[in-house]
Amino acid sequence: MVNEEMVSGKQDSRRRSAGIYSGLLASFLLGWAPILGKLAYQAQVASVTLAALRTLVAVLFLFLITLLFWRHLLMLRWRALLACLMVGAVNGVGSLFYYSALVRLDASSASLLSTLYTAWVVIFLAAAGQPMTRLTLARLAGSLAGAALVTMPWSATNPSDYLGVMLMVASAAVNGWYIVMGQWVLADVPSRSATLYILTGMAITVFVARLGSGPIEPISFFGWRVIVALGLTTALSRLAMFFSIERLGGVQTSILTLTEMVVSLTLAMLLLGERLTWVQWGGALLLIGGSLLARRDVERGAAPPPSFNPME
């Protein structure tokens, strides 16, 4: 009995370690998104075009490696497939908000504002049955104050700055819901299958939006290189993130992926020459602190009750 418990404990430890490493890998890859997005805009790629083409590259890449190595994962029950496509559609809407906001914001502010999705994850899980504690309310208040300091709306000179902030906050909310839905889907679907079909649903959504935007503009060779790089990082980051969610849950994975902000800020300074003011650094610390407090929420029971699952 003791040996069985020791073996079980070691297996749980390995499972958790694998989830942590996957979450950190996802963070590193996700941290490139605003940087590559800005480089694509410098190459005159429209935001809707970028969202559509990078998702197409990601889906084609995932179908290729699935056909080569994981062919058995292609078959899903129709209800599971529909659930994955629904989650992908939600992520597609969030993607359209994100890249539309990125046109109007610098990469640093966009990266910091996107961390608000961790607050939305807890809000949505609270709606699913998790108690809303004082700690939760305090961290949400800190996150909102941090977002205000990062964006400094009182100093904005261009109305598009306000629209960019609103779009990025909307993107964070949609992505928070997407992570919660992904956690529910992964209860019944292997993470690699879920990644493939969620990205497929995402591609369908963003291409419908792209079709309503007229013909695709000419894209330079540099622009295509950036699009392909963004598509590959999208595919690999989603694989790593859903693998982590499968092993750790949505809230703990969202905490781990906060390190993407560090990657984005560092790359924005090195590659784009961006800098934050002291006020914005103060807001960044509030955002980070508010998000890290989510760990205490997890310890108090962040998982939604089994009886509440809109995927069923």
- Alpha carbon dihedral 143, 145, 151, 153, in 10-degree steps, equals 150
Q: Is 130 left (phi over 0), alpha (psi -120 to 50) or beta?
A: beta
Query: CA of 189: how far to CAs of 194, 207, 242, in Å?
Result: 6, 25, 11
| CA 1/CA 55 separation, integer angstroms | 49
Per residue in 74-94, pLDDT (tens digit) is 888 888 899 889 989 998 999
Domain of residue 40 covers 18-299
Query: CA of 4: how far to CAs of 1, 7, 9, 12, 15, in Å?
Result: 5, 5, 8, 12, 16
Residue 133: predicted pLDDT: 64
The label of the residue with tokens 């079709």 reads 211
Q: Are the beta carbons of 59 and 203 closer than 8 angstroms?
A: yes
Residue 228: predicted pLDDT: 96
Handedness of CA 41, 46, 49, 55 (dihedral sign): positive
Asked whether residue 3 is domain-assigned, the answer is no
The runs of H, that is alpha helices, within 152-220 are 159-185, 191-211
Contacts of 9 (CB under 8 A, 6+ apart): none
| CA 102/CA 144 separation, integer angstroms | 19
Assigned token pair, 202: 């995402």
Asked whether residue 307 is domain-assigned, the answer is no
Asked whether residue 161 is domain-assigned, the answer is yes
In the chain, the number of structural domains is 1
Asked whether residue 123 is domain-assigned, the answer is yes
Asked whether residue 125 is domain-assigned, the answer is yes
The runs of H, that is alpha helices, within 220-277 are 221-248, 250-256, 259-271
Q: Are the beta carbons of 197 and 88 closer than 8 angstroms?
A: yes
The label of the residue with tokens 């949609």 reads 174
Per residue in 165-218, pLDDT (tens digit) is 889 889 988 888 877 787 778 778 888 888 899 999 999 999 999 887 778 889
Residue 131: predicted pLDDT: 60
Asked whether residue 87 is domain-assigned, the answer is yes
| CA 83/CA 193 separation, integer angstroms | 12
Q: What is the pTM of this model?
A: 0.79
Residue 60: predicted pLDDT: 95
Asked whether residue 308 is domain-assigned, the answer is no
Asked whether residue 179 is domain-assigned, the answer is yes
* Ranges of the chain with pLDDT below 70: 1-13, 15, 126, 128-160, 249-258, 287-312
Residue 257: predicted pLDDT: 62
| CA 261/CA 114 separation, integer angstroms | 9
